[in-house]
Amino acid sequence: MPEVLFSHDPDRPMARQAVPGHNRFHPDVPPAATARPGQEFRIECREWTDGQIGDNDSADDVRNVDLDHSHMLSGPVRVEGAEPGDLLVVDILDIGPIPQETSEKGPVCGQGWGYSGIFAKVNGGGFLTDYYPDAYKAVWDFKGQVATSRHVPGVEYTGITHPGLMGVAPSQELLERWNRRERALIATDPERVPPLALPPLASGALAGAAEGDLFDRIAAEGARTVPPRENGGNHDIKNLTRGSRILYPVHVSGALLSVGDLHFSQGDGEINFCGAIEMGGFIDLHVDVIKGGMESYGVHRNPVFQPGRVAPQYSEYLTFIGVGVDHRDDTNLFLDATEAYRNACLNAISYLKKWGYTDEQAYLILGTSPIEGRIGGVVDVPNACCAVYLPTEIFTDDIRPGAGGPVYKDRGQVAVTS
Amino acid sequence: MPEVLFSHDPDRPMARQAVPGHNRFHPDVPPAATARPGQEFRIECREWTDGQIGDNDSADDVRNVDLDHSHMLSGPVRVEGAEPGDLLVVDILDIGPIPQETSEKGPVCGQGWGYSGIFAKVNGGGFLTDYYPDAYKAVWDFKGQVATSRHVPGVEYTGITHPGLMGVAPSQELLERWNRRERALIATDPERVPPLALPPLASGALAGAAEGDLFDRIAAEGARTVPPRENGGNHDIKNLTRGSRILYPVHVSGALLSVGDLHFSQGDGEINFCGAIEMGGFIDLHVDVIKGGMESYGVHRNPVFQPGRVAPQYSEYLTFIGVGVDHRDDTNLFLDATEAYRNACLNAISYLKKWGYTDEQAYLILGTSPIEGRIGGVVDVPNACCAVYLPTEIFTDDIRPGAGGPVYKDRGQVAVTS
Amino acid sequence: MPEVLFSHDPDRPMARQAVPGHNRFHPDVPPAATARPGQEFRIECREWTDGQIGDNDSADDVRNVDLDHSHMLSGPVRVEGAEPGDLLVVDILDIGPIPQETSEKGPVCGQGWGYSGIFAKVNGGGFLTDYYPDAYKAVWDFKGQVATSRHVPGVEYTGITHPGLMGVAPSQELLERWNRRERALIATDPERVPPLALPPLASGALAGAAEGDLFDRIAAEGARTVPPRENGGNHDIKNLTRGSRILYPVHVSGALLSVGDLHFSQGDGEINFCGAIEMGGFIDLHVDVIKGGMESYGVHRNPVFQPGRVAPQYSEYLTFIGVGVDHRDDTNLFLDATEAYRNACLNAISYLKKWGYTDEQAYLILGTSPIEGRIGGVVDVPNACCAVYLPTEIFTDDIRPGAGGPVYKDRGQVAVTS
Amino acid sequence: MPEVLFSHDPDRPMARQAVPGHNRFHPDVPPAATARPGQEFRIECREWTDGQIGDNDSADDVRNVDLDHSHMLSGPVRVEGAEPGDLLVVDILDIGPIPQETSEKGPVCGQGWGYSGIFAKVNGGGFLTDYYPDAYKAVWDFKGQVATSRHVPGVEYTGITHPGLMGVAPSQELLERWNRRERALIATDPERVPPLALPPLASGALAGAAEGDLFDRIAAEGARTVPPRENGGNHDIKNLTRGSRILYPVHVSGALLSVGDLHFSQGDGEINFCGAIEMGGFIDLHVDVIKGGMESYGVHRNPVFQPGRVAPQYSEYLTFIGVGVDHRDDTNLFLDATEAYRNACLNAISYLKKWGYTDEQAYLILGTSPIEGRIGGVVDVPNACCAVYLPTEIFTDDIRPGAGGPVYKDRGQVAVTS
Q: Where are the domains of chain D?
A: 3-306, 317-405
Cα C403 to Cα C406: distance, rounded to the nearest angstrom: 9
| C101/B243 Cβ within 8 A | no
| A319/B305 Cβ within 8 A | yes
Q: Of A216-225, A269-278, B182-191, D164-173, which gets the smallest average pLDDT?
A: A269-278
Q: Read off φ and ψ for residue A147, nearest 5 degrees.
A: -115, 140
| A93/D145 Cβ within 8 A | yes
Chain C residues within an 8 Å CB radius of A314: 315
Q: What is the pLDDT of residue D103?
A: 63
Over chain B (418 residues), the average pLDDT of each successive run of 10 is 90 92 98 98 96 96 93 97 98 92 79 96 93 97 96 96 98 98 98 95 97 98 98 96 97 98 96 92 98 97 96 95 97 98 98 98 97 95 97 94 89 96
The CATH fold of domain C317-416 = Endonuclease I-creI (3.10.28)
Q: What is the pLDDT of residue A10?
A: 86
Question: Of C40, C239, C108, C112, which is closest to residue B94 (Cα–Cα)?
Answer: C112
Q: What is the pLDDT of residue C275?
A: 83
Q: What is the pLDDT of residue B217?
A: 98
Nearest to C335 among D181, D338, D385 (CB): D338
Cα D409 to Cα A143: distance, rounded to the nearest angstrom: 47
| Residue of C239, C261, C379 for testing the chain D interface, max D β-carbons within 10 Å | C379
| Residue of C166, C332, C346 for testing the chain D interface, max D β-carbons within 10 Å | C332
Confidence category of residue A273, pLDDT binned at 50, 70, 90: confident
Percent of chain D with pLDDT over 70: 99
CA distance A328 to chain D (A): 40
The Cβ-side half-sphere exposure at D371, using a 13 Å CA radius, reads: 35
Cα A2 to Cα C288: distance, rounded to the nearest angstrom: 51
What pTM did the predictor assign? 0.96
With a CB cutoff of 8 Å and minimum separation 6, the contacts of B262 are B45, B47, B95, B97, B110, B161, B162, B163, B164, B278, B279, B280, B281, B283
Q: What is the pLDDT of residue C23?
A: 98
pLDDT digits (tens, 9 = 90+) for A185-228: 999 999 999 999 999 999 999 999 999 999 999 999 999 999 99
Q: What is the pLDDT of residue B405?
A: 86
* Contact status, residue B209 vs residue B32, Cβ threshold 8 Å: yes
Taking 50 as the pLDDT cut, the residues of chain C under it are none
Percent of chain A with pLDDT over 70: 99
The CATH class, in words, for D317-405 is: alpha beta
pLDDT digits (tens, 9 = 90+) for C90-129: 999 999 999 866 667 789 999 999 999 999 999 889 999 9
C-alpha gyration radius of chain B: 21
* Contact status, residue A169 vs residue A210, Cβ threshold 8 Å: no
A101 pLDDT more than 80: no
| C146/B286 Cβ within 8 A | no
| A341/B378 Cβ within 8 A | yes
pLDDT digits (tens, 9 = 90+) for D99-110: 866 667 789 999
In total, chain C counts a number of residues equal to 418
Confidence category of residue D130, pLDDT binned at 50, 70, 90: very high
Chain B residues within an 8 Å CB radius of A273: 379-380
* Contact status, residue D178 vs residue A128, Cβ threshold 8 Å: no
* Contact status, residue B178 vs residue B272, Cβ threshold 8 Å: no
CA A287, A288, A293, A299: dihedral to nearest 10 degrees?
A: -20
Confidence category of residue A103, pLDDT binned at 50, 70, 90: low
Chain B residues within an 8 Å CB radius of D310: none
Q: What is the ipTM of this complex?
A: 0.97
Cα A145 to Cα A157: distance, rounded to the nearest angstrom: 8
CA distance from start to end of chain A: 43
The superfamily (CATH) of domain B3-306 is Acetamidase/Formamidase-like domains (2.60.120.580)
Question: From D189, which residue of chain C is nearest by alpha-carbon distance?
Answer: C334
Q: What is the pLDDT of residue A11?
A: 87
| C312/B144 Cβ within 8 A | no
Cα A8 to Cα A11: distance, rounded to the nearest angstrom: 9
Chain A residues with CB under 8 Å of a chain C CB are 313-316, 393, 398
Chain B residues within an 8 Å CB radius of D398: 398
Chain B residues within an 8 Å CB radius of C158: 243, 308-310
Q: Read off φ and ψ for residue C371, nearest 5 degrees.
A: -70, 150
pLDDT digits (tens, 9 = 90+) for D34-59: 999 999 999 999 999 999 999 999 99
Average of per-residue pLDDT values in chain A: 95
| D393/B398 Cβ within 8 A | no
CA distance B38 to chain A (A): 13
* Contact status, residue C336 vs residue C119, Cβ threshold 8 Å: no
Question: From C378, which residue of chain D is nearest by alpha-carbon distance?
Answer: D269
The mean pLDDT value for A278-303 works out to 97
CA distance D211 to chain C (A): 29
Chain C residues within an 8 Å CB radius of D382: 182, 185, 196-197, 227
* Contact status, residue C285 vs residue C168, Cβ threshold 8 Å: no
Q: What is the pLDDT of residue C103?
A: 63
Chain B residues within an 8 Å CB radius of D316: 315, 393
A166 pLDDT more than 80: yes
Cα D147 to Cα D279: distance, rounded to the nearest angstrom: 12
In total, chain B counts a number of residues equal to 418
Chain B residues with CB under 8 Å of a chain D CB are 313-316, 393, 398
Report the Cα B223 to chain-centroid distance in Å. 17
| D354/C297 Cβ within 8 A | yes
Q: Read off φ and ψ for residue D364, nearest 5 degrees.
A: -70, -30
Look up the CATH number of domain A317-408.
3.10.28.20
Cα B300 to Cα A264: distance, rounded to the nearest angstrom: 33
